[in-house]
Amino acid sequence: MTATLVWFRQDLRLRDNPALAAAHQRGAPIIPVYILDEMGEGRWPPGSASRWWLHHSLVALDTALRGRESRLVLARGDSGSALQALAAQTNADAVYWNRRYEPADIARDKVIKANLRAKGLEARSFNAALLHEPHTVANKSGQPFQVFTPFWRNCQTLPVEDPVMLPAGPLPSPVLWPLSLEVAELGLLSRDAGGAGWANAWRPGEADAVKQLKKFMLHAVRPYADVRDFPHIDGTSRLSPYLHFGEIGPRQIWAAVRAQSRDSGVFPASRGAHVFLTELGWREFAHHLLFHFPHTVEQPLRAGFSRFPWRQDAAWLKAWQEGLTGYPIVDAGMRELRSTGWMHNRVRMITASFLVKHLRIAWQEGAGWFWDALVDADLANNTLGWQWSAGCGADATPYFHIFNPVLQGEKFDADGVYVRCWIPELAALPNEFLHQPWMAPMELLIQAGIKMGESYPRPIVDHYEARSAALAALEVMRTGDPDGLGQLQ
């Protein structure tokens, strides 16, 4: 009897999985497969936090499949070779998968599809990751968008497909299963540097993705627009890692928000729901940009920024990475990242701005650090976010807009709950000085048990001096005058 290989990648779920649903409709035995393939030019292998998440997500997926009297077959190496070998072993005559949109994966998948078809196998791919695939969205001139608002306005005129439902009951399985690696043999935990903290903060897997969506819909979607910028409030969806690994799909989220709006009699959606769906739109925009401008993973979209006089300072970069810059809101964010593999979005903007504007360290350095440290490290989102912060991407904040980290802390963490959580050595300071402890009177510092420069660092740069240097660097980039570099030190 023939069989269908279902090749799982970043779609580690059973619900709303078009490739799996199509395989089920074929009626032949289904062999779910995951291949750890870190080979190939232009590939971005997962960082340490993502590897930890992937390990546990694969365990969860295998458990879910076994609940359907199936299982997950694991392999590693070149995906095309592994799929052909599995097809030969299992007498499979079809391979189905859901598409990915990273540049290197698009190129690889085209080759794999052609080679499978050349071997006489049916090879089909589906969309499970986006509301609208990048090639289906264009402006009136047929060109890709580079500004979010018209992009999202256009998307909202397009229909969103309903989630694909998989029938209940056992999945059709082969009589004999091919050999499979154990999850541990993939070596995903070998570089794990923060698993204990990550495990306390997260539960990977489709079941927990659905729970998190339900929790958000019940408690946080309505006030979302008003509270999402405050890091001490549990006011965001925290769905980003589940979305990245495909443990839940954007169509499921879209459908849940729209259904709640209709059921509650509030239609169109409430302001909170509307703003939340717009954030889902930013994810779509990120993939749109990566698809059409693949060079932006490493190069600025705005070509002029290739001349920007970035600094190279290993000590400053390390201080930023370790949360030792002397600016509490920045340090709190970086420590949250190290501990949990995640950072609140407002604080991501603050920390990113500090790196590229106060320290003038290239955005690629920050993107690389986030890629390794975030459990939701997504190539499209990471690229968009860092180019936005650096002012060199699509619809980006201008480089001359420079966050004041003290004012940002006072505005979005006025009572200091977030800073005190992640920087306990400052906990005894009154709110007046919490976001600028170097300004506190000596007697207050003594009472709080703080020795500036010892128990907590002094600021590694002065905000106003750093701002002036950043603006001077921008002028050097604009004029191309190397003589202006002297004032940037």
d(Cα 304, Cα 319) in Å, to the nearest integer?
29
Q: What percent of the chain has pLDDT over 90?
A: 89
N- to C-terminal Cα separation, the chain: 71
Catalytic residues: 279, 282, 310, 345, 363, 386
* Whether residue 460 has pLDDT greater than 60: yes
Q: What is the pLDDT of residue 193?
A: 57
- In order of their start, the domains of the chain are 3-127 (3.40.50.620), 130-162+205-292 (1.25.40.80), 303-488 (1.10.579.10)
Instruction: Report pLDDT for 398.
Output: 86
- Both tokens assigned to 391: 């002012």
Per-residue pLDDT at 39 exceeds 50: yes
DSSP alpha helix (H) spans, 268-423: 271-292, 314-322, 328-340, 345-353, 363-373, 379-390, 405-412, 417-422
Report pLDDT digits (tens) over 349-366.
999 999 999 999 999 999
How would you classify residue 398: left for phi > 0, otherwise alpha for psi between -120 and 50, otherwise beta? beta
CA distance 280 to 381: 11
Residue 271 to residue 10: CA distance in whole angstroms:
31
- Residue 409's pLDDT band, with cuts at 50, 70 and 90, is very high
Are the C-beta atoms of residues 240 and 376 closer than 8 Å to each other? yes
- What is the rounded average pLDDT of the residues 215-220? 92
Average pLDDT in the 201-225 region? 95
Predicted pLDDT at 69: 97
**In whole angstroms, what is the distance from residue 280 CA to residue 75 CA?**
32
**Is the pLDDT reported for residue 262 higher than 90?**
no
CA distance 429 to 425: 9
pLDDT 10s digits, 278-303:
999 999 999 999 999 999 999 999 99
Above 50 in pLDDT, residue 373?
Answer: yes
Helices and strands, counts by H and E, the chain: 21, 5
Q: How far is CA 423 from CA 114, 167, 329, 429, 459, in A?
A: 54, 49, 9, 11, 15
pLDDT for res 488? 47
Window from 15-24, 186-195, 414-423, 478-487 with minimum mean pLDDT: 478-487
Please, what is the average pLDDT of the chain?
93
Contact 4, 28 (CB under 8 A): yes
| Residue pointed to by tokens 């910028």 | 229
pLDDT of residue 196: 77
pLDDT in tens, 237-256: 999 999 999 999 999 999 99
Which of these, 97, 141, 128, 134, lies nearest to 294 by C-alpha position?
Answer: 134
CA-wise closest residue to 343 among 469, 238, 477: 238
The angle subtended at Cα 45 by Cα 44 and Cα 46, nearest 5°, is 110
Each residue of 102-127: pLDDT tens digit? 999 999 999 999 999 999 999 999 99
297-326 residue pLDDT tens: 999 999 999 999 999 999 999 999 999 999
**The predicted structure's pLDDT at residue 267:** 45
- What local confidence, expressed as pLDDT, does residue 489 receive? 47
Residue with tokens 């580079």: 146
| DSSP single-letter state for residue 452 | B
At 455, list the tokens: 């128990």
pTM of the model: 0.94
Identity at 320, one-letter amino acid code: W
- pLDDT higher than 80, residue 171: yes
Measure Cα distances from 34 to 71, 88, 122, 186, 237 in Å: 11, 17, 18, 11, 28
DSSP β-bridge partners for residue 122: 94
Question: In angstroms, rounded to a whole number, what is the distance separating the alpha carbons of residues 153 and 147?
Answer: 11
Q: What's the confidence (pLDDT) of residue 484?
A: 45
Provide the angle, in degrees to the nearest 10, between the axes of the packed helices 379-390 and 345-353: 50
Supply the pLDDT for residue 264: 54
Report the 10 Å Cβ neighbour count for 2.
15
Alpha helices (runs of H) in 403-456, residue ranges in sequence order:
405-412, 417-422, 431-434, 442-447
Say if CB 251 and CB 162 are below 8 A apart.
yes
- Taking 90 as the threshold, does the pLDDT of residue 461 lie above it? yes
| Structure confidence at residue 395 (pLDDT) | 81
Residue that has been written with the tokens 């509490």 in this structure: 328
Res. 192 pLDDT band, cuts 50 70 90: low
pLDDT at 212: 97
